[in-house]
Amino acid sequence: MTITDTHTHLYIEDFEQDIDAVIERAKSKGVTRFFLPAIDSTYSKAMLDLKERYPDEVFLMTGLHPTHVKENYKLELSHVENNLKISAYHAIGEIGIDLYWDKTTLEIQKKAFRYQIQLAKSYGLPIVIHCREAFSEIFEVLESERSEDLFGIFHCFTGTLDDANKAIDLGFKLGIGGVVTFKNGKIDKFLDQIDLEHIVLETDAPYLAPVPFRGKRNESSYLSFILEKLETIYKIPISEIAKITTANSVKIFKV
């Protein structure tokens, strides 16, 4: 059984002391594919170093996270574009709009988001979207960029059923992680109305650990708890969910 974590920040400081043990625990649970979303240029070396240590298990994205869109965002976007020219990346992400932390940067967040969408199209790559308190703003940009070469993943999907159907119609899979196990997560109430062909698994480690580890450091091995929850929702075996969601990740990332 091959399980894919489509969104895990294994390269950040939270894992400096025990990254090898973290990866081994994940592999012991069947998680053997780790997709690493970018944050900003300061993490590029750490991402490349982890890829070098685990060349067959780790796959990289490049991109500028919306909460890191600051005054120097054009310089950061140049870094993203340079990465694409010199190394193999499988997506542009995570990118998008976040209005939870700072609404004053909305306009430059939208510019950075659109630029990276167009960059992804030019390279034939998927995008991985970060959306926090910004569904209407995200959909506004996506609708204006709608095309056959726009596709990817709505990371950490927390929207409504209507939002889910909009995302799917635009060419996106839904990234399902720890939130599906939360008592107030809400998405578990309608997820059975979404065909598994539209779902991929993720942890967003070290964030958003599933129950029973909510509030603690998340790690990729905890995908097992997300799979258990999905088994109760879809009423099909975990092995089948793992097979379908991994196949979906291959369609998106082409690897």
**pLDDT tens track for 77-114:** 999 999 999 989 999 999 999 999 999 999 999 999 99
What is the pLDDT, as a whole number, of residue 168? 98
CA torsion through residues 149, 86, 131, 247, sign: positive
Question: Tens of pLDDT along 162-181?
Answer: 999 999 999 999 999 999 99
Angle at 190 between CA 185 and CA 196, to 5 degrees: 105
Task: Give the pTM.
Answer: 0.97
The answer to whether 95 and 150 are in contact (CB under 8 A) is no
- Domain of 151, CATH number, reads 3.20.20.140
Range of the domain at 223: 3-253
Question: Tens of pLDDT along 50-62?
Answer: 999 999 999 999 9
Structural domain total, the chain: 1
